Structure 1
Amino acid sequence: MSCTFLKLGPKMKGKGQRVGSLQCGTLENPLEKEQKLVILLRASEGIFCDHFNGIRIDPGTIGVYGKFQLHSAYPKKSWTHLGANIAPGNERIIVEDAVDWKPLDKIVLSSSSYEPHEAEVLTVKEVKGHHIRVHERLQHQHIGSPHVMEDGKRIHLAAEVGLLTRNIQIKPDTSCSGTLLVGSFTKSPREEFSGVLQFLNVEIQNFGSPLYSSIEFTNVSSGSWILSSTLHQSCGGGIHASASHGIILNENVVFGTAGHGIDLEGEAHSLTNNLVVLMTQSAWSTTWVAGIKVNQAKDILLHGNIVAGSERLGFHIQGQRCSSDVFWSDNVAHSNLHGLHLYKKSGPDNCTSVSGFLAFKNFDYGAMIQIENSVEIENITLVDNSVGLLAVVYVSSALQHSIKNVQIVLRNSVIVATSSSFDCILDRMEPHSANLTSTDRAPPNPKGGRVGILWPVFTSVQNQWPRDPWHKIRNGHSVSGIMKLQDVTFSSFVKSCYSDDLDICILPNPESTGMVHPIIAERTRMLKMRDKNKFYFPPLHPRFPSTQNEILTDSPLDL
């Protein structure tokens, strides 16, 4: 197959009928587990498809301007969590859910350290329920046990295991030359062509290029979905959508992309229970790579998604309206530089909401949030991050007279400095991506341990990244603001690893030269903690007003 042009009969305005599609199986009668379908794109032949004016399909590209439907019954379970800690050298792993995977299938075991490249591709030898035997010996340690807090609450910290193999496969005959392009165009006032992609349990391998993601949606309306499918070893991004509406992604595994794993623009997309593993930063791109990037999309549903290992960002988001009825939940980011990243966005109604994330083992920040006007952060769990939370609120000079009560609210959240899975040797090693981002490092704790919250900043001057690191705020007019901690728990802030390293709950930002804004705590707990772990003010930190209008305020914490 040199190139494939999938075309429906035109949708006539006023009639809305479509004819024709390319289909294998249905949702009710999918391709059986024992059957196999391989679509091989002969991109090396260099044949273009240009049957219609305005549409050009490059070699190795499947152009979908009709309906493309592939359905397979295998597997029943796309991915799961590791069920127990596994040491290097092992050939057996235990997983949380029973799986129906087959011998010789390929699986990916994600990193659970600060180094995303500790993800491992393994070959299944035998499966018995929750037990998987593989042909290879593991090269790295992977965690699979929960952290138990002092009050008995369990936090699920575990690597993920995803199945890469499917019995419907699409691949090019030359790596880095395949793209699945789903689009629409208008040929005449009465003829419209609109692509619809519907995949269930489909494997896409070695697609993508520096210019295109493996799957590109352009100006696509509701009706397209990808379920329980896998996309791996991409030479570009994974899945990208622009100017599109209502795309559904559920239970997919995206592994090994040279760009964003999932990058959606448009509105009303649904992302649920997707596993995204190992995104590498392209040398030619100045935009930091993200596992899931939805900062240019509106009205997004995010539930149960996991980003397990990006060389830069886990989730790149823009947040929601504080008045939104849709709540994000159960999303996880680990083994990145930033777990959760929100930068330079103006929230609707002067208030942005962020909720429903667990971020652990992120080398710089569990959550890095820089927002215009107020922000409410809720149901966030931050574990084993160098800095749990950096929150900066920017208020422009033009709006300062009209906006009052600017605030950062952290509510119903947990911050753990040093979990029971923290390895005092392996977890002190820097990831490879740290070398190329040394100027962007989170500020170190002078006491050597981890930091829960970097003291909040309210400013009239935006951060100037990449000229300055993320936490540096230049001098500007003082902005009145307050941080509120409501039902927040700080746990396991200790002297870690039998050394002098001391975890600190709240630490001043060394690059903020303005006034220190107040923090008010309500129903906030610091569990079994010594006073020296609660706050630390370095000797060189300013303890006096920098101008007549900037008054240093002690934080009235009710603990």
Structure 2
Amino acid sequence: MTAVTGQNSIVLNESVDWIVGDEIIITTTDTNIEHTERHTIANISIDKTRIGIVNPLVYTHIVIHNVFPSGQIFHLAGVVGLLKRNIRIINRSPSSELFGFRIVVTNYAINIWNSVAIDAPNEDKREGIHIYNLDNWNPSRATFINSCSFDGGYYSAIGIWQANSIPITNNIVYKTYESAIVLNRNWQFNANDDEAIMSTDAISVIMRNNLVAGVERLAYRIQGNSCPGAVLPSYINNDYVNNEVHSAMSGINCWPMDKDFDYDTTWYYGLYINAACNIIIDSCTAADINVGIYTFIIGPLDEDFWNRFNFYIFSFLLAVSHVAGDNSNYDVHCAHKITGGYLFWIKLQILRTSSEDLCCNI
């Protein structure tokens, strides 16, 4: 149910175990990252789905649920997240200094971060949790970050360096500086774009059920999964499932292959691809975005390049508004297997890179 400006309550689509006094965030559903709101719970209904808040809503948070003739479903809604945790790590002077605190995990201790609130670590150019040199993940001495909240900060929420297969699951990241969720590896070129969860030189990453709201720059920049048929060592397992971002400058940036991302209302690109290899896009949704997909291909300047590079899209859902600024009426365009394409809103420009027939439904 859409929550409009001035309301003192919100309705959730599932019950929660939150209590009066808990602090929550309600994500923006437009292009302004400042429209994510934080509120304190004043009361909660018996069925735990209707929450009363101390102060009225400042902005409107829309809900859209459309089922299209093709059977595809487009659902857009603000997300409500709980900032409060049983354990809270607090910066006592967050506004007056750039040297706050950070948590360093290195040289294999066992570190389990579960249901912890990290409040404004505020070290300039340092992550809230810095994981370094753990090598391959070991279940007998497991390190993971699960169900934590990150509330502000001057850099990324989490940094993973020279560590493999660290699970990062069910976390909330709110108002970090320069970032959203990020994972990358050895690229030929690096534009030095910034994100919120950063993993550099990590070979294997598991990232599931994460939500990031209000991103000044990029949302997800990831290394991606291996191509089908690739033989990898047993310790490498890249897994990305059900990750969301609301209101970012750019949604997903530069990967060889990835799937299962939903992103709404990015200021510029839904997907920005800058790669030197074949690209596969699968099970992704983009809504209310200036540029749905932008590909910037890196490769040799010869004719053979066009015979070797392929750009495939499987089950990509692009939902756009009929009238600019009117999010109440969406149309849907689905591209099934595109070879060498640029997608701007609903305009599709094809570059033939092989003799294979093209099949596009737009």
Is TM-score (shorter-chain normalized) higher than 0.5?
yes
The equivalent residue for 2:104 is 181
SS at match of 2:202: strand
Instruction: Specify which of 116, 119, 124 is matched with residue 205 of structure 1.
Output: 119
Instruction: Specify which of 240, 246, 250 is matched with residue 165 of structure 2.
Output: 246
Uncovered stretches (5+) of structure 1, i.e. residues with no partner = 1-83, 185-193, 268-285, 346-351, 428-448, 457-481, 494-502, 509-515, 527-559
**Equivalent residues of 1:388, 1:452 under 8 A apart:** no
The equivalent residue for 2:233 is none
The equivalent residue for 2:130 is 216
Cα separation, partners in 2 of 1:196 and 1:216, compared to 1, 3 Å: same
**Equivalent residues of 2:28, 2:35 under 8 A apart:** yes
Instruction: State yes or no: 1:318 paired with 2:220.
Output: no
Instruction: State yes or no: 1:166 paired with 2:91.
Output: no
Which protein has the bigger strand share? 2
SS at match of 2:220: strand
Query: What is the CA distance between 1:483 and its match in structure 2?
Result: 2.9
The equivalent residue for 1:506 is 348
How many angstroms apart in 1 are the aligned matches of 2:74 and 2:217? 24
How many angstroms apart in 2 are the aligned matches of 1:211 and 1:361? 27
The equivalent residue for 2:151 is 232
The equivalent residue for 2:312 is 409
Q: In the TM superposition, what whole-angstrom CA distance separates every residue of 1:459-512 from its partner, at most 9, and x where no partner exists? A: xxxxxxxxxxxxxxxxxxxxxxx5389xxxx9xx9xxxxxxxxx643258xxxx
SS at match of 2:321: coil
**Equivalent residues of 1:217, 1:242 under 8 A apart:** yes
Cα separation, partners in 2 of 1:157 and 1:195, compared to 1, 3 Å: same
Q: In the TM superposition, what whole-angstrom CA distance separates every residue of 1:266-309 from its partner, at most 9, and x where no partner exists? A: 89xxxxxxxxxxxxxxxxxx833324444753232333333332
Q: In the TM superposition, what whole-angstrom CA distance separates every residue of 1:176-206 from its partner, at most 9, and x where no partner exists? A: 512212222xxxxxxxxx3222122122212
Query: What is the CA distance between 1:265 and its match in structure 2?
Result: 6.6
Cα separation, partners in 2 of 1:95 and 1:374, compared to 1, 3 Å: same
**Which of 1 and 2 has greater Rg?**
1
User: Relative contact order (C-alpha < 8 Å, sep 6+): which is higher?
Assistant: 2
Instruction: State yes or no: 1:117 paired with 2:29.
Output: no
Q: Percent identity?
A: 20
**Equivalent residues of 1:100, 1:127 under 8 A apart:** no
Cα separation, partners in 2 of 1:266 and 1:353, compared to 1, 3 Å: closer
SS at match of 1:415: strand
The equivalent residue for 2:293 is 389
The equivalent residue for 1:142 is 61
Instruction: Specify which of 300, 309, 315 is matched with residue 205 of structure 2.
Output: 300
**Equivalent residues of 2:173, 2:213 under 8 A apart:** no
Q: Which amino acid aligns with 1:94?
A: V
- Farther-moved stretch of structure 1 (224-233 vs 400-409): 400-409
Q: In the TM superposition, what whole-angstrom CA distance separates every residue of 1:254-274 from its partner, at most 9, and x where no partner exists? A: 21212434555789xxxxxxx
How many angstroms apart in 1 are the aligned matches of 2:358 and 2:304? 27
Cα separation, partners in 2 of 1:108 and 1:418, compared to 1, 3 Å: same
The equivalent residue for 2:272 is 368
Query: What is the CA distance between 1:172 and its match in structure 2?
Result: 3.4
Aligned positions, number: 335
**Equivalent residues of 1:232, 1:255 under 8 A apart:** yes
Q: TM-score, normalised by structure 2?
A: 0.80
Q: What aligned pairs does 1:39-118 form with structure 2 within 5 A after superposition?
A: 84-118=1-35
Instruction: State yes or no: 1:418 paired with 2:315.
Output: no
How many angstroms apart in 2 are the aligned matches of 1:365 and 1:262? 16
Uncovered stretches (5+) of structure 2, i.e. residues with no partner = 231-236
Q: Which amino acid aligns with 1:116?
A: I
Query: What is the CA distance between 1:165 and its match in structure 2?
Result: 1.0
Instruction: Specify which of 188, 193, 198 is matched with residue 288 of structure 1.
Output: 193
The equivalent residue for 2:50 is 131
Cα separation, partners in 2 of 1:450 and 1:265, compared to 1, 3 Å: closer
SS at match of 2:212: strand
Q: TM-score, normalised by structure 1?
A: 0.54
SS at match of 2:34: helix
Q: In the TM superposition, what whole-angstrom CA distance separates every residue of 1:196-228 from its partner, at most 9, and x where no partner exists? A: 221221222121311322111121253211221
The equivalent residue for 2:245 is 333
Query: What is the CA distance between 1:245 and its match in structure 2?
Result: 2.7
Cα separation, partners in 2 of 1:326 and 1:288, compared to 1, 3 Å: closer
**Equivalent residues of 1:227, 1:251 under 8 A apart:** yes
How many angstroms apart in 2 are the aligned matches of 1:240 and 1:135? 35
The equivalent residue for 2:361 is 525
Q: What aligned pairs does 1:460-479 form with structure 2 within 5 A after superposition?
A: none
